[in-house]
Chains A and B, each alone.
Chain A
Amino acid sequence: MQGSFAKHAHSMGSLGIKSRVVRTPEDLKLIDALILPGGESTTMTLLLENEGLWDPLNEAMDNMPVFGTCAGAILLGQQIDDKRVRCFCKIDYSAERNAYGRQIESFTTTLVIPKIIDHDFHAIFIRAPKFKNLTRDVKSLAVYGSEPVLLRQGNVLVASFHPELTDDPAIHKYFVDEVVLKPR
């Protein structure tokens, strides 16, 4: 509905995978997996609710692999300390919005993502969230300091940073090869 969807489409395109924008419940019937992009989680909540897309999306995600980045990851969590944002409860953590601070605190760093990517990953964090109160079912795939930043639970993958903003599609490739093609 809003945010970095074109960048995600570009990342998927570089892997030879077609994507389309979902704006109506009918669009959901045409896809095999879903990405919730970065953007503003308040705006996304309102647009999804006002357009009657919230419930169809919620249902569709129970039978479909999902990848969420930043705002998308916030929406996928269990709960949030902010009434302006609603959650789909697809992965067991509570998200803390803008947890590193305002834009002036946004940063880039190099992440080591063992077993998944054989090279260091250049990660861009923009007004990023933190993930708190993880249950045992949530697997942390990468950390920044002590903060988990790339997580998987079943067929849901989330990142607090923006792999779609780099030219390296390694995390998108992991989503396709290991989450979409080998569902749990």
Chain B
Amino acid sequence: MTKNLFEVKTGLAEMLKGGVIMDVTTPQEAIIAEKAGAVSVMALERIPADIRKDGGIARASDPKMIKEIQKAVSIPVMAKCRIGHFAEAQILEALEVDYIDESEVLTPADEANHIWKHDFKTPFVCGATNLAEALRRIGEGAALIRTKGEPGTGNIVEAVRHMRTINMEISRLATLRGDELMAAAKEMGAPFHLVTQVAETGKLPVPNFSAGGIATPADASLMLQLGAETIFVGSGIFKSENPSAMAKAIVQAATFFNQPDKLAEISYGLGSAMRGLDMSEIAPEERMQDRGW
């Protein structure tokens, strides 16, 4: 028997496909998420919209809160640590969380280095805004990539930009000749072996999910039609008028993402989605997606 193999780490991500991973801050919210059909929950102290509003330093959650959520639900429980904060990640591993999100939603702890994720048995998910960033994270050991989007905004525009960018860059690599790949790797600043792998297979070496700004069933459908394999919904559920109904609707939307008639039915009379923020309302230094590189 062997553990800590990459296929075991990506294997769990495969099981989450076609599902919805929801941010929750209490065991009660976790139960609402599970009852709505979430495939996993992300345990954190404040949802991104509140982190954005409150300011201050956002850190990994209290182990007590994570344990309580693990007790409350049977689905996998994920938790976030700060970018580069491997000690927080070690604590999350000791708590046996099922996935660690090295997340730009929290305040970065290291501006130069991300966590060396190969050292952990627990799989990691990391955000990316483009292909090179995704491949750097995979090079460090991430078993799952998600778009960063702009967390806590309820605005899908950045997640769309990131997903389209990653797709376009994958397509471009696939058109290059073998003798052009080293130059491409140099230009991208991405590990050569992963660049050649993407050029050969035409896809990311790990599952590709989407996060950051998803607030309605239609947003979920949009990201899944653009190629996301699963979606993370942060503030979109518990900042909406009727969280339980919104959670259930987004879960259904993830299954029927390419059936507009079904999506119309799912979206009917849901109450208002979270209010949301236009990108122009966010000062450049407050953009979470620019954290990490």
Contacts and interface: CB of A to CB of B under 8 A. Distances in A.
Answer yes or no: are A and B bound together in one complex: yes
Interface residues of B, number: 38
Nearest to A37: B15
Given A40-B39, A103-B12, A23 B255 contact: yes
Nearest to B256: A23
Given A2-B39, A107-B2, A102 B11 contact: no
B8 A4 contact: no
Contact of B74 (A50, A51, A97, A108): A97
Contacts, number: 119
Given A39-B39, A40-B39, A42-B37, A3 B15 contact: yes
Contact of A43 (B8, B11, B98, B251): B251
Nearest to A106: B8
A6 B38 contact: no
Nearest to A105: B3
A65 to B, nearest CB: 23
A126 B40 CA distance: 14
Interface residues of A, number: 38
A127 interface: yes
Contacts of B2: 107-109
A1 B39 CA distance: 12
B11 A1 contact: no
A44 to B, nearest CB: 9
B38 A165 contact: no
A90 interface: no
A39 B40 CA distance: 11
Interface in B15-42: 15-19, 34-40
Q: Which 5 A-B pairs have the closest CB atoms?
A: A103-B98, A46-B37, A40-B39, A2-B18, A126-B11
